Amino acid sequence: MLPELAAWIQAALQETVDAPPIPVPDGPPFYEACWTACRRIKLGRTCTYGALAASAGNASAVRAAGSSMRANPQPLLTPCHRVLSTTGLGGFHGTLKRGPALALKAKLLSIEAKLCP
């Protein structure tokens, strides 16, 4: 699977693919739906937790969408850093506090913004 994954990463950086060649892992059905919806967020783009919940089939399950991103076991393949709060970055890696995790989320978004002006 490594050559396929390497080819996908290269294509993803050129924004020519939508989803990685590896299926989302097993999890609660709504989490799987959120992980699948998250994978459709294009490089350099973002969405809110509410929009993610709606894309996953339940617009009122905003907190559950956030929990699914916190539980995301494949952050490289399921780009949870692209999901934001309506008031800012939201959380990352299980924390809402300013610190290394949110700084990493901001940095990833910054790098993607430069790749996709």
Least confident piece of the model among 4-13, 53-62, 77-86: 4-13
Q: Is the pLDDT of residue 1 over 80?
A: no
Amino acid letter, residue 64:
A
Q: State both tokens at 94.
A: 């299980």
Residue closest to 73 by CA, chosen among 16, 27, 39: 27
> Does 116 qualify as catalytic in the annotation?
no
Provide the whole-model pTM: 0.81
Least confident piece of the model among 11-20, 72-81, 95-104: 11-20
Catalytic residue among 34, 38, 47, 80: 80
Which tens digit of pLDDT belongs to each residue from 24-73? 999 999 999 999 999 999 888 999 999 999 999 999 999 999 999 999 99
Q: How far is Cα 18 from Cα 22, in angstroms, rounded to an integer?
A: 12
| 31-115 CATH pick, 1.10.10.10, 3.40.50.1100, 1.20.1070.10, 3.40.50.970 | 1.10.10.10
The CA-CA-CA angle for residues 112, 114, 116, to 5°, reads: 70
Domains of the chain by residue range: 31-115
